[in-house]
């Protein structure tokens, strides 16, 4: 016997009725997913496991930006398409992308913290950094920090500050590469300065 739209199969293969509230939640989640897809650049969409029909629908929605009525209908259509496919791989790919972005942001913030420590705490911070990353060139770092001080006295230390940041990043990335394979959390923990937060 054919199942109604309000019935599906559980893990044991038995039919059960899906509540209207659950169907609404699922439909809303798919609508949100569709909105997210439409807002993504084409280069990122290329990396997602979208069916050809879904990708065409998303691309059309992008071209309808500004035509609110047509865009609304197209988003509804995208949601309808996704009700008939397994969106799990798409959601997993988006979650992985979000996790990677979060980790990059955290790592960038920690690099900023080390840069600020080296500038603001002087030799104590340099010693701490070299203790954490023995492969670091202490003489080079001291020279770069000295340039920051020199440029600050002239009113603009942006060039030397960026150079110091790049040097710190190079040391830490080399350390991570030498210690691979590691989990993102382990890598971030090794980046973390041991002293408190510093303003950027």
Q: What is the pLDDT of residue 180?
A: 66
pTM value?
0.53
Q: Number of folded domains in the chain?
A: 2
List, for residues 144-158, the tens digit of each pLDDT value: 999 999 998 888 889
Domain that holds residue 78: 7-85
Give the per-residue pLDDT at 30: 84
pLDDT beneath 50: ranges in the chain: 1-7, 9-11, 13-16, 182-190, 194-200
pLDDT at 167: 94
Taking CA atoms, 151 is separated from 54, 155, 166, in Å, by 54, 6, 17
Residues 66 and 119 in one domain: no
Does residue 64 belong to any structural domain of this protein?
yes
Q: Are residues 107 and 185 located together in one domain of the fold?
A: yes
The answer to the question of residue 143 being in a domain is: yes
What was the pLDDT predicted at 18? 55
109, 148: one domain: yes
User: Are 79 and 20 in the same domain?
Assistant: yes
Say which residue the tokens 């060139």 belong to. Answer: 137
Same domain, 20 and 74: yes
Nearest CA among 117, 104, 124, 105 for reference residue 200: 117
């Amino acid at each position: 016997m054919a199942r109604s739209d309000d019935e599906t199969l559980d893990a044991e293969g038995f039919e059960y009725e899906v509540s209207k509230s659950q169907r609404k939640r699922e439909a809303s989640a798919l609508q949100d997913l569709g909105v997210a897809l439409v807002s993504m650049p084409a280069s990122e969409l290329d990396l997602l496991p979208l069916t050809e029909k879904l990708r065409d629908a998303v691309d059309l929605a992008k071209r309808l930006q500004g035509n609110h009525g047509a865009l609304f209908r197209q988003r509804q259509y995208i949601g309808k398409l996704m009700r008939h496919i397994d969106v799990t791989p798409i959601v997993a790919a988006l979650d992985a992308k979000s996790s990677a972005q979060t980790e990059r942001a955290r790592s960038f913030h920690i690099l900023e913290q080390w840069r600020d420590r080296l500038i603001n705490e002087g030799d104590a911070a340099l010693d701490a950094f070299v203790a954490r990353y023995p492969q670091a060139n202490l003489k080079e770092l001291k020279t770069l920090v000295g340039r920051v001080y020199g440029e600050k006295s002239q009113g603009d230390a942006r060039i030397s500050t960026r150079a110091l940041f790049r040097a710190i990043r190079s040391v830490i990335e080399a350390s991570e590469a030498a210690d691979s394979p590691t989990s993102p959390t382990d890598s971030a923990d090794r980046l973390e300065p041991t002293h408190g937060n510093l303003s950027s």
